[in-house]
Structure 1
Amino acid sequence: MQELDLRYPNCPVRNVLIRFSDKWSLLTLRNIERNGKMRYKEIGNAIPDISQKMLSSTLKHLEEDHLIVREAYAEIPPRVEYSLSEMGKSLMPVIQSLIDWSLAHFEEVTR
């Protein structure tokens, strides 16, 4: 689980936003939402510039923070799928608003 902000351990804004506000977490959540259940390799293919180490770390943190669910199937070969948890689903309208704002203001922000 990600650490609390030690200077402000009781600040909900700092200590919740830190858990999903980096670019890899946002891209991972968005791709899982779009596709429903996804396997590790599918997520990696959907985000081609993420390293395997960063993808593994991102998935681990999102699972620890209860935003995604990891489901392992006892098959040969083993199969693992990731999907949004109920809490992750409740976050997606907020993320979609941020995506919409980014699309609307991209030109202005990047001048």
Structure 2
Amino acid sequence: MATKARRGPYFCGIDAAMDVVSGKWKSLILWELNDHGVRRFAELRRGLPGVSEKMLTQQLREMEEDGLVHREVYREVPPRVEYSLTEHGTSLNQALASLGDWGVERIRRIGAEKVTVSAS
């Protein structure tokens, strides 16, 4: 199934940026790839508790279409597919860093629980 390319029109830069990272999982996929580098599908799924296989596949396809993620397919038996950030994805992750800092402060301020994921 082909995804619909998002091409505006946009009201402002925030509108264009939010179009690319909309939804719960895309920003978390960006952080996972930033923190761990190249990841296979199963590794990404383990690092994102609660994401379904279908949703992760959909989000990765959209992120690849938007130029945020590179998908490398190795022709071996069994087939191996690895995902990594592109320069565009890395720059978006850097732009989201301040938002992440704001979120950490919010967690602290409201006394919310912060979920930790064990390293795989």
Q: TM-score range by the shorter chain?
A: 0.7 to 0.9
User: How far apart in 1 are the matches of 2:10 and 2:32?
Assistant: 31
User: How far apart in 1 are the matches of 2:99 and 2:87?
Assistant: 20
RMSD over aligned CA atoms reads: 1.9
Task: Classify the secondary structure of the residue corresponding to 1:18.
Answer: helix
Q: Which residue of 2 aligns with 1:66?
A: 67
TM-score (normalised: structure 1)? 0.86
1:28 Cα shift?
A: 0.5
Q: Which residue of 2 aligns with 1:84?
A: 85
**Matching of residue 46 in structure 1 with residue 52 in structure 2:** no
Which structure 1 residue ranges, 5 or more long, are not aligned? none
Aligned letter for 1:105? R
Which structure 2 residue ranges, 5 or more long, are not aligned? 113-120
1:41 Cα shift?
A: 0.5
1:102 Cα shift?
A: 0.4
TM-score (normalised: structure 2)? 0.80
Identity %: 36
- My pick for the range that moved more, 57-66 or 98-107, is 98-107
Q: Which residue of 1 aligns with 2:27?
A: 26
**In the comparison of the two structures, how many residue pairs are matched?**
108
1:95 Cα shift?
A: 1.5
User: How far apart in 2 are the matches of 1:88 and 1:3?
Assistant: 16
User: Are the equivalent residues in 2 in contact too, given 1:72–1:81 (CA < 8 A)?
Assistant: yes
1:91 Cα shift?
A: 1.3
- My pick for the range that moved more, 18-27 or 41-50, is 18-27
Alpha-carbon displacement from aligned partner over 1:1-42 (angstroms, at most 9, x marks no partner) = 44355xxx1434323321113220011110011111000010
